[in-house]
Amino acid sequence: MNEIIAAGPGLSAWLILAGVLFSVGVYGVLSRRNLIAILCSVELMANAVNINLVAFSRFHGDTLGQAFALFGIALTVAEVGVGLAIVMLVYRQRQGIDIDDLHDLLG
Amino acid sequence: MNSFPWLSMIVFAPLVAAVVLLAIPTKSRTTTRIVAITSTLVSLVGSLRVAIGYLPGGGYQFREHYPIIESIGINLDLGVDGWGISLLLLTSIIIFAGAFASWTLTQRDKEFYVLLLALVCGVFGVFVSLDLFVFFLFYEIAVLPMYLLIGVWGSTKKVAEAGPFRFLFRLLDIGGKEYAAIKLTLMLLTGSAFILVGILAMYDSAGAHSFSIETLGRATYPRSLQMWVFPALWLGFGTLAGVFPFHTWSPDGHASAPTAVSMLHAGVLMKLGAFGVMRIGMVMLPQGAASWAWVVGCVAVVNIVYGALAAMRQTDLKYIVAYSSVSHMGVVMLGAATMTVEGWNGAIYQMVAHGLMTGLFFALVGLIYGQTHDREVGNMGGFAKSMPAVAVFFTIASLSSLGMPGLAGFVAEFQVFLGAWNGPMPWWALAGVLGAWLTAVYVLRAARRIFWGAGPPARFTNLSDPVGTEWVALVVLTACLILFGVAPRLILDDIDTTTVGYLDTISQTAPPQASAGVRP
Amino acid sequence: MTFTGIESLTLPLAVLALLLMVFLADLLVPAPSDGRQSDAQRGLGALTCVGLVGVILLSWWMPQGGLAFGGAYVQDAFATYLQRVLLAAAALGALGSIDHVDRNFPSRQGEYYLMLLFSLLGMVVLAGARELVLIIVAFELMGIPLYVLAAMQKRAAGGVEGSLKLYLTGAVSSAVTLYGMSFIYGVTGTTNLTAIAARLSLGDDQGPLLVLGLLLSLAGMGFKIGVVPFHMWVPDTYQGSPTPFVAFLSVAPKAAGFGVLVRLFVEGLGAMRDTWWPIVLVLCVATMVVGNLFALSQRNVKRLLAWSGVAHIGLMLLAFGIATVQGIGVLIFYLTAYVFTNMGAFFIVDVVGQDGSDDLDAWQGLARRSPALGGAMLIFLLSLGGIPFVAGFWAKFLLFWAAWQAGMGLLVLLGALLAVLALFYYLKVARSMFIEGTDGPAPRVALPTALAITIALLGVIGIGVYPQPFVDAALAAAAGLLGG
Amino acid sequence: MTSTTSSADASPPPIFPLHADHLVLNLALIALLLPLACFVLLALVWPLRRAGRLAGWLSATVAVISFGASARLLMLVVGGEAPLTETVGWLVRDGKVIASMGVHIDGISASMLAVVTLVAACVQVYSLGYMAEDSLPAQGRYFTYHSLFITAMGGLVLAPNLLQLFAGWELVGLCSYLLIGFYWAKPSAGQAAVKAFWVTKFADMGLIVGLLALYGATGTFAWDAHLVGIWATAVPALLFMGVMGKSAQVPLHIWLPDAMEGPTPVSALLHAATMVAAGVYLIVRAYPLFELAPSLLLAMTWIGASTALIAAATAIVQDDIKKVLAYSTCSQLGYMIAALGSGQIMGGYFHLTTHAFFKSLLFLGAGAAIHAVHSNDIHDMGGLWKTTRISALLFITGSLALVGVPIFAGFFSKDLILEEMLEAGQYVPVAMLVLGAGLTAFYMTRVIVIAYFGDAAEGAEHAHEAPWTMLLPMGALGLLAVGAGFGGDLLATLWGQQYHFGMTPIGITTSVIGLGGIALGIMRYGTSTWTADLLGGLRGFILSGPVDRFWDSAWRQGLLPFAQVVGWFDRYIVDGLINMVAWLFIFLADRIKRFQTGRAQDYVFAVVLGVVAFIAYGMVGA
């Protein structure tokens, strides 16, 4: 493990990039009020993971990570697809997609 | 030895009856009662059969064995010794009487009997279990139905509380039957959490992969373990036994509960706790018990005197009787704490005596309350005129509770005091004797205020003596009180054999100097 | 990758086949355009249920112990046990859903059962998955249909909101899980759990990134089973979703989630137990405490059961954290008991709530209006509370038994005391049913629902009275997994 | 399965070992168990009990038979039958009997049994007439209690050990409670009954502890055990505490005057002749224990003498004829205790027997007067001599015996006491007792003068003489009151002691003082009206009941408020803490609800927080 990081700035840079992207995504999820924007942020987090996977794959010199990333992309797509459907339901019910409007269930 | 499974019959007859009651879609009050009473009669006959068939010489007899989870050492292992027999008899007598005492119940009587019988099954189970786990299991069964029994069929005392804690009283609905029910249940189950921990600690430490009481009893536990497991068991079981300061469920619970439930709970269930402390705590953890005996005894003394004083202050009839239970259970615990033959004989005997006595008390209180719908002693007076028989039975119960020779209470208390005098701290006996006097003070005061005086107040015009089946409970319990008071050796010999056997085992595992060092 | 060992995939394939059958049937059955109920649509639920029973039976006839996908999937005793639990939960869930679905969204019945089966397929695979990619795929296969199912009541007030909350936390958690797994892969260079375990057992320096990966994965999984602090969706989603689905949601994903936790952290990263154990311990305590405390003041029965479910997860987490044969055995036994208990309880919630309110007030006098329902609910509540002669008692007791032997005495005490606290709110429901209220008409109970409740009840009592075969099987399954 | 032992041990011991050929034992058992059978019969067969008269005759017959058996028994014992003890095991410890029940027959118990059954038989026959005006169920109840009393008292007297004696002791206390409260509808009767029970039971605490200590020291309840060290004093001292309650010694005498609420025959039997003498009997019985405690004996002498004097002084101012007699009983019991304290068991016991006869006679006579005028007040009885001459004569006979006029029974026993005490050098107590004798003469004269010869009261003029059922037993007792003094030799034989009577200076002094008291009484009350009272302030002080007031304030300002405090503590502190815990949970649960905000982003935020915490742990911990 340590040798991986020690191997050069290459991998670390990618990992840091992925970490930053992931954090940005998290920040987006937490701060945006528009549901679509939140979905985008989720997508950003997923893509950060993909960068991670691909970087590791490149580093290990095998394709396993890339395959993993492909699966990840597919899953994210499915997930976001369902997410959009839910957003549509929200819109139909409330005529808006502001997440702050949704707090009927609590306590 | 007869191979007929007497103990199973005793334990499960009420359960079978409960299931039968659930299954038959009867609206008939009489059928319900016949089924219930028949099952209690079966248990009573079984208990008598076991008591008569028990051979002198001690040890567990009438053994039965059925596997439950053999792989981790849990079996339905049944058997009785002298202690078990006494308490089995007590339970079957009380429940037999209790089934009659609830005869006049009007609402939802079928459910009532189902729960009552389920509870009784648990009580019987505890007294005959030779498997610690099954012991615990039955223990929990015995505790839980109480919630509904009190919650549904209980009676409410409206307290108009003043003072700084007013808000608390209103918020928690103190005085309500639901409050009493949940308080009782939660306090007792909190206790059982400690019991569980103790049981697991013993199982683990013994390393025999068995919950068998005999197997665990043969094991020796490190002193450090005993030093904390015993108090855990004492607190756990002690909560049910009404040990100060965890007794406060008892007055509220007993006061709110319907007659038969009060009878059973004060009469038998509190004994489960004391029985647990002695049978599990003291016999199996002798070193821990010897080291803690002085605490157990001192708290028991507090119970006796404190309970009696608190009873003196009460104006609600049921609270008086309930606090008297707190006081008298102190006598049981005092006997247990002495770790002497006399003390233990007396403790077991006191369980029987107090069970019968308090059962009789609650049956009578139920009769009175059923007619007056008032439990305030101050409102009563002169009831002997319209209910002379109730007055007589009440007096007998009072006399037994204050230790009148010729009634069971004296035999028990006197032995306990003998044990206390010869135990680690002789002054305990003084407190016990003082408690007996205080009992005389409050119980006769109550009797005088209820029954004596010139005729009942105008609002109680329709009072009458018990009718029909209501007599059964009173007569049976009184007869037993006198019988066990006059001829104690009917059961004392068997109790004694068992006690001596246990104490021998203890003295082998815990050398006498361990207990000699108790006196600080 | 070859397809040798396809016979090991019997169970997932059977579920898939059933799924296709239902799909086909749904295509063939005409959906009433006006949204009215139809027998044919109702038949879909029956088909699902019967099919699932068939699959359960099949599980006794299929080959055991085989590998598939080159070791990515294993049909060992642990997987089989867990799958039977999952299938039973699904079958029971389908049975209990028939009436509800028919009442509330009659024209979308196929959709409902298909989603249920999709999710189930994911779970069934998850139970045997020993490879990170497969785990992730199965995890999502399990999760995504749940978002859909949660939103089935799309016009009801909280329906969409509950689904959205589930979705948002779920999506973030998935991303976190994936992120964590990417580190595990990155450090170990493999995605196969057996290979990871082998690498770790060599005693390599594990490094901070592996720890990071491990913790992130744990966080993601924690969402699915509802561990504090990833639990907050639980009560809201339960409240907003169709009740029979909640019955399923409250047990099956938990079982599958625990299955994958065991696979990943015991089988794969067992060597790093010292690292993850303290965190699990903290989570366990937090989950028990938070679940019970929040449940205390609930007046909505669905929310109450949701919070109590959180508390139960805390207890199961304790069993999981012990990670001994006894611990894992008890964990899956606990799940078994929990399936019957919780589902039965939720079905009754469904019956009582069919008039629109899940509030405690609607429960008043239930035991008088319908003694059978009241009695059944009481038994479920007692089982949840861990009272003797019902399944939950054995679960709780054995858990404490195992925990004690693993040296966690204080946690046992805490658990036992919190169990008392839990009884407070369980008895609150009992109080409503038995003590308060007056006579009135009994709530309508449809035949399938009644059947489902009865089966759950039989399960609860059956396990309670004769637990030995279940306990032995669970311990044997755990022993197979850990080689104990 | 545990091993089975031989079934020989299995059979329970026989309840009572009846011996067909053992006359002494059988007589004792008849005297003891026949009343028991009668009690059980009356208690269980309620139609019989409620029939009243029949129950009364049955009970009285049984009492007479019981007396017959006791008398025959006494004769046999006098005739030289060896002491006999027959017991069955009652309590066991470690397989060995530690306490047994049974009968112990020797001179003391046989003579006491005869006295008890004799007085009981007289009183029961008397009651047939006295109680005739009560309702039939009440009469049935009355005689039921009486049957129980004979059994209990017999059990006490025949006790083979102190434990059975204690059992009988408590049971006679119970009978006392029941009979004092016989008119339960009267509030004062209820209070008196309860008070009697509380006070005696309070004293019994000492008795119980004494038994415990005795057992602790010797492992038995035998009265002839050999005690050493502190227990040699402590055990008898504790036993004596019980005696003080039962035998109404100052300051525990307060219950006895109140006990006069019961029917008068009850006062005669329980509160004059037998039950209150049980304390004296206990000391006599357990004298081997008391002997070893000289300091205790000294204290007993002083307590007895003080009681004799104080009670006699109190009796002077009472207007209630029964209260006069009650205080007189206290006073006479003081004589007995003082005698025993000086080591004169023979004298004390002799006085016990004579006192039993003349005091019960006095009570029965008083009962006849009350029966005649329906009032207890001596002023309502004025001039009864004219209408009820026979009972008046009998009452005067009893009075003379009490006062100790020579040839009457009381003279001999009192003389014996004083003489022996003087020999023992107890000068001050003897002086107190002699003074008491004078007071006794004075108050009895006062009663007789006012009640029988005073100004004619309205009720007394129409009074009728008592029926024969009342007069017959009074006559019998009257004979004894006159003649029992000559039984000293008999008693001495039983005790194996020498007794010979001789006129001594102290006897003469006492007689003279007694006659002086009589003269003073006649002068004081025979000539002037009672309202002009010489005693003035003293009278007021005595009537205000200083001892009573002390106990009353101990109850009202000590025990009751303390119980209130305990009750408060229990409700608000002990229970309050538990409620507080419950409330805390409810409060907490209510407050933390707000953390579940309902906003999805907060939920995600929680997830993120958790993740961050995990990462932090990973960074720090790993």
Rounded to an integer, what distance in angstroms lies between the CA atom of residue B360 and that of residue B476? 9
Q: Are B175 and B156 in contact (CB under 8 A)?
A: yes
Pairing of the two strands C67-68 and B74-80? unpaired
Does residue A49 sit at the C interface (CB-CB below 8 Å)? yes
pLDDT for the residue B457? 80
Structural domain ending residue among the three candidates D518, D549, D580: D549
What b/e sequence results for D202-230 when a residue is b if at least 16 CB atoms lie within 10 Å of its CB, and e otherwise? Answer: bbbbbbbbbbbbbbbbbebbbbebebeee
The answer, yes or no, to whether residue D122 has pLDDT greater than 60, is: yes
- Subunits with 3+ Cβ pairs within 8 Å of A are C, D
What residues make up the domain containing B95? 6-516
Given an 8 Å threshold on Cβ–Cβ distance, is B172 in contact with D583?
A: yes
With the C-alpha atoms ordered B126, B132, B134, B137, is the resulting torsion angle positive or negative? positive
Rounded to an integer, what distance in angstroms lies between the CA atom of residue B41 and that of residue B34? 10
Asked whether residue D7 is assigned to any structural domain, the reply reads no
pLDDT for the residue D6? 38
| Paired tokens of B90 | 């007590």
CB pairs under 8 A between B and D: 176
User: How confident is residue B518, by pLDDT bands cut at 50, 70 and 90?
Assistant: very low
Q: Return the residue matching tokens 């309860």.
A: D194
Rounded to an integer, what distance in angstroms lies between the CA atom of residue D324 and that of residue D543? 12
Whether D565 and D444 map to the same domain: the answer is no
SS (H, E, C) B191-224: HHHHHHHHHHHHHHHHCCCCCEHHHHHHCCCCHH
| Chain A and chain C touch, per 3+ beta carbon pairs within 8 A | yes
Q: At what angle do helices D107-130 and D53-78 cross, to 10 degrees?
A: 160
Tell me D2's DSSP state.
Answer: P
Q: At what angle do helices C252-261 and C132-150 cross, to 10 degrees?
A: 160
pLDDT for the residue A7? 55
Rounded to an integer, what distance in angstroms lies between the CA atom of residue C12 and that of residue C123? 9
pLDDT > 90 fraction of chain D, expressed in percent and rounded: 37
Contacts of A99 in chain D (CB under 8 A): 599-601
Q: What is the mean pLDDT of residues B17-31?
A: 83
Number of domains in chain B: 1
Q: Are C341 and C251 in contact (CB under 8 A)?
A: no
| Chain A and chain B touch, per 3+ beta carbon pairs within 8 A | no
Q: Residues 425 to 444 of C: which have CB under 8 A from any B CB?
A: 427, 430-431, 434-435
Interface test with C, best of A3, A17, A49 (most C CBs within 10 A): A49
Nearest to B290 by CA among B459, B473, B100, B515: B515
Closest in C393, C398, C427 to B185, CB measured: C427
Whether D212 and D349 map to the same domain: the answer is yes
Interface test with B, best of C468, C470, C472, C475 (most B CBs within 10 A): C468
| Paired tokens of C175 | 């991303």
CATH architecture type of domain A2-101: Orthogonal Bundle (1.10)
Given an 8 Å threshold on Cβ–Cβ distance, is A46 in contact with C178?
A: yes
Asked whether residue B504 is assigned to any structural domain, the reply reads yes
Q: Are D134 and D265 in contact (CB under 8 A)?
A: no
Does residue D609 sit at the C interface (CB-CB below 8 Å)? yes
User: How confident is residue D424, by pLDDT bands cut at 50, 70 and 90?
Assistant: confident
What b/e sequence results for B435-458 when a residue is b if at least 16 CB atoms lie within 10 Å of its CB, and e otherwise? Answer: bbbbbbbbbbbbbbbbbbbeebee
Helices (H), C250-408: 252-261, 273-296, 301-322, 325-353, 366-369, 371-385, 391-405
Does residue D597 sit at the A interface (CB-CB below 8 Å)? yes
- Subunits with 3+ Cβ pairs within 8 Å of D are A, B, C
Whether D344 and D253 map to the same domain: the answer is yes
D12-70 pLDDT tens trace:
444 455 555 688 888 999 999 999 999 999 999 988 888 888 999 999 999 999 999 99
Strand partners for D320: D377
Task: Find, in chain C, the residue whose alpha carbon is nearest to that of A45.
Answer: C175
Closest in D171, D181, D566 to B309, CB measured: D566
Rounded to an integer, what distance in angstroms lies between the CA atom of residue B298 and that of residue B296? 6
- Segment-wise mean pLDDT, segments of 10 residues, chain C, 484 residues: 69 93 87 68 89 93 82 89 95 93 86 94 93 92 93 82 91 92 89 87 75 89 89 91 93 94 89 87 93 91 93 93 90 94 94 84 88 92 89 92 90 92 91 86 90 95 91 92 73
Q: Are B195 and B136 in contact (CB under 8 A)?
A: yes
Contacts with B353 (C-beta within 8 Å, 6 or more apart), sequence order: B400, B407, B408, B409, B411, B412, B413, B481, B484, B485
One-letter amino acid of D469: T
B454-510 pLDDT tens trace:
877 878 878 888 888 888 889 999 999 999 999 998 899 999 999 999 998 888 765
Q: Please state, as a whole number, how many other Cβ atoms lie within 10 Å of the Cβ of residue C108.
A: 18
User: How confident is residue D526, by pLDDT bands cut at 50, 70 and 90?
Assistant: low
Q: Residues 557 to 596 of D: which have CB under 8 A from any A CB?
A: 593, 596
Contacts with D381 (C-beta within 8 Å, 6 or more apart), sequence order: D321, D369, D372, D373, D375, D450, D451, D452, D454, D457, D459, D460
One-letter amino acid of C293: L
pLDDT for the residue B516? 40
Cα D448 to chain centroid distance, Å, stands at: 27
What residues make up the domain containing D603? 553-621
Does residue A29 sit at the C interface (CB-CB below 8 Å)? yes
Whether D397 and D477 map to the same domain: the answer is yes
Does residue C419 sit at the B interface (CB-CB below 8 Å)? yes
Does residue B310 sit at the D interface (CB-CB below 8 Å)? yes
Strand partners for D91: D99
Task: Find, in chain A, the residue whose alpha carbon is nearest to that of C299.
Answer: A107
User: How confident is residue D10, by pLDDT bands cut at 50, 70 and 90?
Assistant: very low
Rounded to an integer, what distance in angstroms lies between the CA atom of residue C12 and that of residue C83? 9
Whether D506 and D570 map to the same domain: the answer is no
Contacts of D590 in chain C (CB under 8 A): 297
User: How confident is residue B511, by pLDDT bands cut at 50, 70 and 90?
Assistant: low
Q: Are A55 and A18 in contact (CB under 8 A)?
A: yes
Q: Across chain B, what does the average pLDDT equal?
A: 88
Rounded to an integer, what distance in angstroms lies between the CA atom of residue B345 and that of residue B419? 9
Does residue C157 sit at the D interface (CB-CB below 8 Å)? no
Closest in C176, C211, C229 to D606, CB measured: C229
Rounded to an integer, what distance in angstroms lies between the CA atom of residue C206 and that of residue D414? 108
Q: Residues 83 to 142 of B: which have CB under 8 A from any D CB?
A: none
CB pairs under 8 A between A and C: 132
Number of domains in chain D: 2
Question: Considering only B50-54, B488-492, C323-327, D540-544, which range has the smallest mean pLDDT?
Answer: D540-544
- Domain-by-domain residue ranges, chain A? 2-101
Phi, psi angles (nearest 5°) of residue B62: 60, 45
Q: Cα distance from B406 to chain C (closest Cα, Å)?
A: 41
Closest in C388, C416, C434 to B152, CB measured: C434
Contacts of C240 in chain A (CB under 8 A): 105
A16-46 pLDDT tens trace:
999 999 999 999 999 999 999 999 999 999 9
Interface test with A, best of D595, D601, D602, D612 (most A CBs within 10 A): D601
| Paired tokens of B157 | 């005392």
Does residue D620 sit at the C interface (CB-CB below 8 Å)? no
Contacts of D608 in chain A (CB under 8 A): 26, 30
Closest in A79, A90, A103 to C140, CB measured: A79
The answer, yes or no, to whether residue D532 has pLDDT greater than 70, is: no
The answer, yes or no, to whether residue B322 has pLDDT greater than 60, is: yes
Closest in C164, C167, C175 to A49, CB measured: C175
User: How confident is residue B514, by pLDDT bands cut at 50, 70 and 90?
Assistant: very low
Q: Return the residue matching tokens 């493990």.
A: A1
Given an 8 Å threshold on Cβ–Cβ distance, is B489 in contact with D95?
A: no
Task: Find, in chain B, the residue whose alpha carbon is nearest to that of C428.
Answer: B182
Q: Cα distance from C129 to chain B (closest Cα, Å)?
A: 30
Contacts with B422 (C-beta within 8 Å, 6 or more apart), sequence order: B338, B340, B342, B343, D215, D216
Q: Are C97 and C47 in contact (CB under 8 A)?
A: no
| Paired tokens of D285 | 């019985």
Structural domain ending residue among the three candidates D549, D570, D594: D549
Tell me C472's DSSP state.
Answer: H
User: How confident is residue D531, by pLDDT bands cut at 50, 70 and 90?
Assistant: very low
The per-residue DSSP string of D299-316 comes to HHHHHHHHHHHHHHHHHT
The answer, yes or no, to whether residue B97 has pLDDT greater than 80, is: yes
Contacts with D66 (C-beta within 8 Å, 6 or more apart), sequence order: D30, D31, D34, D35, D117, D120, D121, D150, D154
pLDDT for the residue D141? 92
D465-480 pLDDT tens trace:
888 888 899 999 999 8
User: How confident is residue B515, by pLDDT bands cut at 50, 70 and 90?
Assistant: very low
Contacts of D589 in chain C (CB under 8 A): 293-294, 296-297
Q: Residues 66 to 95 of A: which have CB under 8 A from any C CB?
A: 67-68, 71-72, 75, 78-80, 82-83, 85-87, 89-90, 92-93
Closest in A26, A75, A89 to C160, CB measured: A89
The answer, yes or no, to whether residue D254 has pLDDT greater than 80, is: yes
Closest in A22, A67, A82 to C147, CB measured: A82
Segment holding B51, helix H or strand E = helix B29-53
Whether D341 and D436 map to the same domain: the answer is yes
pTM, whole model, 2 decimals?
0.91
Contacts of D597 in chain A (CB under 8 A): 103, 106
Q: How many residues does chain D have?
A: 622
Asked whether residue D23 is assigned to any structural domain, the reply reads no
Cα B79 to chain centroid distance, Å, stands at: 20
Tell me B453's DSSP state.
Answer: S
Q: Are C8 and C129 in contact (CB under 8 A)?
A: no
Asked whether residue D559 is assigned to any structural domain, the reply reads yes
Pairing of the two strands C73-74 and D84-93? unpaired
Phi, psi angles (nearest 5°) of residue D194: -65, -40
Does residue D608 sit at the A interface (CB-CB below 8 Å)? yes
Task: Find, in chain D, the residue whose alpha carbon is nearest to that of C233.
Answer: D603
Whether D498 and D569 map to the same domain: the answer is no
Q: Are A101 and A87 in contact (CB under 8 A)?
A: no
Does residue A38 sit at the C interface (CB-CB below 8 Å)? yes
Structural domain ending residue among the three candidates D515, D549, D583: D549
Given an 8 Å threshold on Cβ–Cβ distance, is C179 in contact with A45?
A: yes
Pairing of the two strands D96-105 and D84-93? antiparallel
Q: What is the mean pLDDT of residues D283-305?
A: 91
Q: Are B170 and B237 in contact (CB under 8 A)?
A: no
Closest in C144, C164, C182 to A53, CB measured: C182
Q: Please state, as a whole number, how many other Cβ atoms lie within 10 Å of the Cβ of residue D270.
A: 30
The answer, yes or no, to whether residue B399 has pLDDT greater than 90, is: yes
Strand partners for D581: none
Contacts of D601 in chain A (CB under 8 A): 29-31, 99
Task: Find, in chain D, the residue whose alpha carbon is nearest to that of A30.
Answer: D601
| Paired tokens of C335 | 């799940």
pLDDT for the residue D534? 54
